[in-house]
Amino acid sequence: MLEEYFGLKEKPFSKTPDPRYLYLSSVHEEALARLQYAVEEREMVLLTGEVGCGKTTLTRALMDELDDTAYQIVLIINPRLSPAQFLKAVAKRLDITETPRFRQELLDIIYERLYQLDTAGINTVIIIDEAQLIPRRETFEEIRLLTNFQLDHKNLLSIILVAQPDLKRRFAHRVYRPLLQRIALYFHLPPLTEDETEEYIKHRLRVAGATADVFDKEAIRLIYKYSGGIPRVINTLATNAMLEAIGSDKRIVDASCVRRALSEIEFLQICTQVQTSRDKAWTSQR
């Protein structure tokens, strides 16, 4: 209904990850370049960003860019794992079928596999998303020990830790110092700026088939203001504002549509969760 009303081919702000909708600001480009550098150089990198900022999207973009004949990717998206479960998860994704009883044996098998991959010219990349959910320091210790896998002083794998910024607070404790020393690169993905929010919205609409403006300037300004530039919140707010426009028979989504969309309780809850300090003022204005 939304598509037909606005003359689009697809829903512009849908949740399904689709590389065609990828929007890369200069900051995203830089983040992606650092991730690429980390995998090429087989380093450990930490990428942080608030919820909904686009961290997972960025790692998917990286995976899409890596040639699958040259890279073996081990993706761990739910890292609530004990050290033993973590090693088993890595082994499984490296197509290791043996299930030895002892940790050291499993480590030996993993090492052997990494060595084989390296000999075949394949670069192993472990991506751990939502790394702030890793419950215990011991699991981080296991991750750190994987970086000891070397051959002729060359690392056998790269590790990408993706996390919410809180993890940095945890890492500040001295027990994490050995791990921190292994992290060669760090990048924080900020929310979009106002100009980027506008480009992001227009980009998504263009990909969805828009040939004319769907939102007016003031609507975009308000979306930015209320979303704090967080793409996931922009998506929700933009979709709801479009639905409000349909409800009130408007061809262009204007500020009143955005305000009405905002008053939806559900959205307010999302807003409260992600509200950034930069945009704290908005609640008092409503």
At residue 12, φ and ψ (nearest 5 deg) are -75, -25
For β-strands 123-128 and 71-76, DSSP reports them as: parallel
Q: From ligand ADP, Mg ion, none, which one binds at residue 132 (CB under 5 to 8 Å depending on kind)?
A: none
Residue for token pair 């704090």 = 228
Contact residues for ligand ADP, defined by CB under 6 A: 15, 17, 21-23, 28, 49, 51-57, 231-232, 235
Pick from 27, 56, 145, 250: which binds Mg ion (CB under 5 A)? 56
Q: From ligand ADP, Mg ion, none, which one binds at residue 52 (CB under 5 to 8 Å depending on kind)?
A: ligand ADP
For β-strands 71-76 and 44-49, DSSP reports them as: unpaired
Q: From Mg ion, ligand ADP, none, which one binds at residue 21 (CB under 5 to 8 Å depending on kind)?
A: ligand ADP
* Residue type present at position 246: I
Q: How far is the CB of 60 from ligand ADP (least distance, A)?
A: 8
Residues 6+ apart with CB under 8 A from 71: 39, 122, 123, 124, 125
Q: Is 164 in the site for Mg ion (CB under 5 A)?
A: no
Q: How far is the CB of 161 from Mg ion (least distance, A)?
A: 12
Q: From Mg ion, ligand ADP, none, which one binds at residue 113 (CB under 5 to 8 Å depending on kind)?
A: none
Residue nearest to ligand ADP (CB): 54
Residue 52 or 79: which CB sits closer to ligand ADP?
Answer: 52
For 115, other C-beta atoms within 10 Å of its C-beta total 13
Residues 6+ apart with CB under 8 A from 255: 216, 218, 219, 221, 222
How far apart are alpha carbons 283 and 264 in whole angstroms?
Answer: 14
Q: How far is the CB of 49 from Mg ion (least distance, A)?
A: 9
Name the residues that contact Mg ion, by CB under 5 A: 56
